[in-house]
Amino acid sequence: MSGGRATVRGKQGKATANQYGDITATDSIGEPLVSKVVIELKRGYKNWSVMDTLDSATPHTTQFYKFLQQVLAACKLANTDYFLLICKRDRRQPIVIMSKWLAGHPLMGTSPEYRKHIRGEVHVEGDTVHYCAMLLKDFFAIYRPEHFIGL
């Protein structure tokens, strides 16, 4: 069910600690990350782009919009505002789309990798979602585990 256990339990009014999204922690070392950040993985979806929310005549019907709907629903169940949406299109490099706090982290402005990013805003079901997208390898060059402790 790839992240579905917590979603199903959430619909029943039950909480499931550290089990939201596609990446969960079975070891306590991962708990500081997955307790604060919902991580969704997307691969195998064709013909979508972060640009869909800008140039689509019906942005709320695009695959990217649906990705955001899913990760935001998981964030609500997990009681957090932070997400990482890691995506890989065929014959393209993996990217990460991250929520506002992560996109606005002070580290971002000091890293050379930060220069290669896209910032955006989209309205999803009445909420304004600010995000930043970059190559996954650049994300790993900027962030370290300690950056997520204390979110």
Residues 5-60 pLDDT 10s:
545 545 556 555 555 788 888 888 888 888 889 999 999 898 898 888 889 889 88
Region for residue 44 given its phi and psi (left: phi exceeds 0; alpha: psi -120 to 50; beta: otherwise): left
pTM of the model: 0.80
pLDDT digit string (tens) for 100-109?
766 566 655 5
**Are residues 86 and 96 in contact, defined by beta-carbon separation less than 8 angstroms?**
yes
Distance between CA 35 and CA 25 in Å, rounded? Answer: 9
Share of the chain above pLDDT 90, in %: 27
